[in-house]
Structure 1
């Protein structure tokens, strides 16, 4: 259970970058400037102006570090490391098409998806400690610390398996050609060691601990679908938009069925799960909001305003603080419950 509670779920849907805001040019953000806090209902929101186009975020509770990827205006990317205690930037690391992030909260390594594969960042030393080459264009990454394995979605190919101890790509699993595209996301359950990959229409299930083929699939039909898992209940959460309506699908891996569907805002773009209190957080890309879902009742209990075009979300289960990256205005929203 300890390992499960230290795993931060974070997901991002790169397909939304083609949604019409990519050519809107805001003024470049300057040095980090905190604004707020603003109190809305039970939530207090502070905003940090970090970069140009913020993409994904992940949090390491023990090292008090938030890792944020930024798509810069000159075509060069930046990985920001933010001290969550002081809310200040502690390091900036150059990257090349860096995007989604997975945290190994046991060994304190952030695995940052990049054009070349995976960039490794030590959240203790706040420095890069290597990279792992992955064949093809990687779209998302998830980590299982106990088995020392990373799982990557590879464009066109499917799910790839990476040996973190050896720092080598091992094999691709499938489900087959054309199964992964920009709307693909991956999540790993650190307790059951199962892995889940969405391909828009389907949720693919891969068994433990190092899969060689898919074990099954669940029809979700959500379009671009970020995915996350609660390692204490093992329930899977996938979100997307169908017929103009945002929805969060709850999937039971035991029955391989959708057990509930929760209405969301427009174009859900990322999901994070707090396993300590069974709360699910979903960013609503077109609404500029964060939907807060009570996973025990499958109801939205709050909608919190964040930055413009939110793309990434992470939660620190140690203190229940939520972090949201917004693409259009380059802000990191830090949300605490009162």
Structure 2
């Protein structure tokens, strides 16, 4: 496992030709240490650790960067964290087994996947109250909302499908068959395609959202967990492989596998698209990948059991 002095790491990010890192933070759920860690990606330093409890797993930073919403399956709750003050602002009891979480583009609605109830809970962000429940497939995990806010996609692991929900009505419009045991789901910036990491079939399903169907599958490493998109490529965490699989979004051809920390799970691209940040559960690290050069350029120590399942990066300027 790599060990890097933090000061040297910060310098190395500037040396590789990307320029110095932009002002951005990673909000990392550390499930086994029951907390949320905030990492300044410009300096690769931890700047806060916030107790959460209940084995935090899912994370969604609001589009305006003001709040981080954290699911705690054991506590059956969602914790709202003020991103600027690093303080817990509220705890919302949702019941069941909250796991995946997503915030609507306008920031007004929070969606929470209830693993046990085959449902997505709907929270009004202003009042911080549950307002509805939407029926989806068995064991919903990853959630994503289209850029226009009109559709919610739920990766329903034990149904081998993705539910498509009209957010205005809460109606489940379609159930799209994908690979085996889909977990993370990611939608592209245009809202045209979605990508699911299929844990059971070691591939990624490519979905045409308008047509409501799977159009391709891309082979990746062992036990893929989640997908990030940047610079015309898909980056997929392979839990059992200790790698990130990279494929071309146009041709859907595999490009490379990058060795990262042990048991990678959560993955996000930075706002400028130049780096990919990977939470590695077993090695308790964040691996930092140069998205153009396709190589690891740094590593940051985290708490115990980082998952960061969701949108865990926050732009600060």
Deviation at 1:298, TM superposition (A): 1.3
CA distance in 2, matches of 1:151, 1:62: 29
- Say what the alpha-carbon RMSD is for the aligned residues: 2.6
Deviation at 1:128, TM superposition (A): 2.4
Counterpart contact for 2:205–2:216, Cα < 8 Å: yes
**Does the C-alpha gap of structure 1 residues 147 and 95 become closer, same or farther in structure 2, counting only changes over 3 Å?**
closer
Structure 1 residue 94 corresponds to structure 2 residue 51: yes
Counterpart contact for 2:199–2:225, Cα < 8 Å: no
* Correspondence for 1:109 among 47, 60, 67: 67
CA distance in 1, matches of 2:185, 2:273: 23
Deviation at 1:133, TM superposition (A): 2.2
Structure 1 residue 152 corresponds to structure 2 residue 105: no
* Correspondence for 1:162 among 105, 114, 123: 123
Deviation at 1:330, TM superposition (A): 0.6
Number of the residue aligned with 1:186: 143
Superposed counterparts of 1:47-62, under 5 Å: none
Q: 1:218-253, CA deviations, whole angstroms, 9 ceiling, x for partnerless residues?
A: 1114214211111314211012144xx511110011
* Correspondence for 1:174 among 130, 135, 158: 135
Superposed counterparts of 1:270-309, under 5 Å: 270-274=226-230, 277-309=231-263
Stretches of structure 1 that go unaligned for 5 or more consecutive residues are 1-25, 38-43, 45-60
Counterpart contact for 1:62–1:105, Cα < 8 Å: no
| Higher normalized contact order (CA 8 Å, seq sep 6+, divided by chain length) | 1
Deviation at 1:318, TM superposition (A): 1.7
CA distance in 2, matches of 1:113, 1:63: 25
* Correspondence for 1:331 among 272, 285, 304: 285
Number of the residue aligned with 1:197: 154
Structure 2 length normalisation: TM-score? 0.79
Counterpart contact for 2:226–2:237, Cα < 8 Å: yes
Counterpart contact for 2:191–2:209, Cα < 8 Å: no
Q: How many residues align?
A: 276
Counterpart contact for 1:64–1:84, Cα < 8 Å: yes
Deviation at 1:145, TM superposition (A): 3.2
Number of the residue aligned with 2:205: 249
**Does the C-alpha gap of structure 1 residues 35 and 305 become closer, same or farther in structure 2, counting only changes over 3 Å?**
farther
Structure 1 residue 262 corresponds to structure 2 residue 225: no
Structure 1 residue 126 corresponds to structure 2 residue 115: no
CA distance in 1, matches of 2:283, 2:258: 17
Counterpart contact for 1:63–1:123, Cα < 8 Å: no
Q: 1:59-115, CA deviations, whole angstroms, 9 ceiling, x for partnerless residues?
A: xx986210011133xxx4121000111110110011211111111131431111122
